[in-house]
Amino acid sequence: MEEVIIIGGGISGLATAYFLRKRGWSPLLLEAGAAPGGNLQSRQEEGYLRDMGPNSLMLKGRIVPEWLRELQLEGDIVEANPLAGRRYVLNRHRQPVALGPGVLFGGGLLSIRGRLRLLGEPFQPPHPTPDGEESIADFVRRRLGDEALTWLVDPFVSGVFAGNPARLSVQATLPRLAALEQDGGSLLRGALRARKKKLPGTPKTRLVSFREGLQVLPLRVANTLGDTLRCDTPVDQLAYSGDMWQVGSGNQTWQSKRLVLALPAGAAARLLAQTDATLARELDAIPYPAVGSLSIGFRRPQVEHPLDGFGMLIPRVMGLETLGVLFSSTLFPGRAPAGQVLLTAFIGGSQNVLAGRDDDDLLATVLREIGPLLGISGDPVFSRCRVWPKAIPQYEIGHLDRMKRIDTLSAGHPGLHFRANWQGGVALGDCIEQAWEFSQTADWQH
C-alpha cells in the first residue's frame, strides 16, 4: 500500500510530491508521458532556445524563491532584461505603442473622452452588490470605461489567459484586482492601501527563467524525487473500494487511502467518471481553448521594430487572430544566435478556432498579421509550431460556485484531493504556492 498516490507529473504534481516528501510522506507520482513537466517544455534547435508552454516564472513572496534555492537552481536563473517592463499594445492606427503614463496623453490609444473616463476611476461608486461574480468586461467597463476595456484590458486578457473578458470572472481570474475595489472603494485607493500594508522586507518581484529554458525546473524536481516518480505510466483504471483507492496502469496496480489528482480538469473527469458521474461532469465543464505557440527566428536586419520590451499585445477589436508576440531574445539571454532574434507568437484562444488547421497555415497567418506591425521583411530563418489543444483553463462566470460544488462532491470521497491550475490561479508560481499550501494543511495521519 502506498502512503499517497499522485496522478499527473506536471508542475503541480511534482511540487506536491516534493513538498509532501519534505514533510515526511512517501508519495508515488505517476506520469503518463515520457518526461515530467506537462507543458513546461524547452528545446534547443539551430542555436535557438524556445519554450513551448510558459515562457517565464514570476518570483514573488518567499515560497518559490526558497524552493529554487533548495533545488540548487539559483545559479541557473536568468533575470529578465530590464526592458521587459515595457509592454507594447497595438493602437487604433495599427501601430505598436508602449504602455505607460503617456498612454493618457498620446499614442493614439485612447480618445480624450477615454482618457478622462480613466482618470475618473476614483470617483466611480463601488459595486452595490459585491457578493457573487462579475465578468472582467463588466468590471472594467464599470470602473474604467469602454475604451480602457477595448484597448488595455481586452488585449491583456486575450494574451495572458487566451480568454474572453466578457465570459471570464474577475473574482476568479483576477482576484487581486477585484479585491482593490472591495478594500478601497476604488482601484486607485485600493492600490494605495495595499502599498501601505506591504510589509518591510517583502522580496521584490522578479521575472526569471533558466539558462536552458523553463523545463530545467521539472527536470530538476524529477531528479530530486528519484523513484518517487514513474514516467510512461498512464493511469487507465481508478476505483474506490474498501476505504482504498485502487489505481491501475496496464497490468500494474497500486492502492492508497490518499489520492491526489494533479491533472487537467477533463483528464480528472475521465478517471472519475465511473466513481462519481456528477463530479466528473462538473470537472469536464471547465473550458480549455486551444492555443498555438509559434517560435519564429529572423536575422536582426529583417525586423525594423527595436524589440525593446516584453512583447506586443493585440486588441481583439483589430480583427486579428494573433493574440500577442513575445520578444523572446530580448526578454532573456541565449534565446537566439548572434545577429538574430526570436519571436514567440500565440494564436487561438477562446475567441478563435484552431481545429483542422496545420502548422503551415498558422505560421502563414501569424506572419501575415505581425509582419506589417513589426516591420518584418523576408521569410523567417527558423520556425516551429506547437499547438496545445487544451491550453489554459478558463475561469468563467460561475467558476467559484463550481469550485464549491467540486469541493462538496469530492468531500464525499475519503482521501480524494485535487491540485491543478484550474484551482486558484493558472500561473506557474500559483501552482507551486498552492502545492506548498496543500502540503502544509494536509491533516493526514501516518
CA 292 to centroid of chain Cα atoms = 14
- Rounded to whole angstroms, the Cα distance separating 300 from 307 reads 10
- Classified as helix, coil or strand, 421 is coil
What is the Cα Rg of the chain in Å? 23
For residue range 278-317, list pLDDT tens digits in order: 999 999 999 999 999 999 999 999 999 999 999 999 999 9
- How confident is the prediction along the chain (446 residues), in pLDDT tens digits per residue? 899 999 999 999 999 999 999 999 999 999 999 999 999 999 999 999 999 999 999 999 899 999 999 999 999 999 999 999 899 999 888 889 888 777 666 777 888 899 899 888 888 888 776 677 899 999 999 999 999 999 999 999 999 999 999 999 999 999 998 888 887 787 878 887 777 776 666 778 899 999 999 999 999 999 999 999 999 999 999 999 888 999 999 999 999 999 999 999 999 999 999 999 999 999 999 999 999 999 999 999 999 999 999 999 999 999 999 999 999 999 999 999 999 999 999 999 988 888 788 999 999 999 999 999 999 999 999 999 999 999 999 999 999 999 999 999 999 999 999 999 999 899 999 999 999 999 998 777 66
Instruction: Using alpha carbons, select from 86, 148, 142 the residue that is nearest to residue 111.
Output: 148
How high does pLDDT run on average in the chain? 93
**Predicted local confidence at residue 211, as pLDDT:** 97
CATH superfamily of 4-55+214-287+394-441: FAD/NAD(P)-binding domain (3.50.50.60)
Instruction: Using alpha carbons, select from 385, 384, 381 the residue that is nearest to residue 298.
Output: 381
The whole model's pTM is what? 0.93
- Rounded to whole angstroms, the Cα distance separating 121 from 141 reads 10
4-55+214-287+394-441 shares its CATH topology with 79-84+288-388: no
For residue range 82-125, list pLDDT tens digits in order: 999 899 999 888 889 888 777 666 777 888 899 899 888 888 88
**Predicted local confidence at residue 165, as pLDDT:** 96
What residue ranges in 60-168 does DSSP mark as E strands? 77-79, 87-90, 96-98
- Rounded to whole angstroms, the Cα distance separating 213 from 335 reads 9
CA 262 to centroid of chain Cα atoms = 15
CATH of 79-84+288-388, one of 1.10.287.1080, 3.90.660.20, 3.50.50.60, 3.40.50.720: 3.90.660.20
Residue 149 burial (CB count, 10 A): 24
Q: Please name the amino acid found at residue 190.
A: G
Long-range Cβ pairs for the range 233-239 (8 Å, 24+):
233/30, 233/31, 233/32, 234/32, 235/7, 235/30, 235/32, 235/271, 238/271, 238/272, 238/274, 238/275, 239/274, 239/275
**Predicted local confidence at residue 129, as pLDDT:** 67
Q: Please name the amino acid found at residue 382.
A: F
CA 55 to centroid of chain Cα atoms = 10
Each domain of the chain, given as residue ranges in start order, spans 4-55+214-287+394-441, 79-84+288-388, 103-197
**Predicted local confidence at residue 272, as pLDDT:** 97
**Predicted local confidence at residue 202, as pLDDT:** 72
Q: What is the CATH number of domain 103-197?
A: 1.10.3110.10
**Predicted local confidence at residue 323, as pLDDT:** 95
DSSP-derived secondary structure for 343-366: EEEEEESTTS--TT--HHHHHHHH
**Predicted local confidence at residue 254, as pLDDT:** 96
Site of grid cell 529554458? 213
**Predicted local confidence at residue 350, as pLDDT:** 87
- Rounded to whole angstroms, the Cα distance separating 232 from 303 reads 42
**Predicted local confidence at residue 407, as pLDDT:** 96
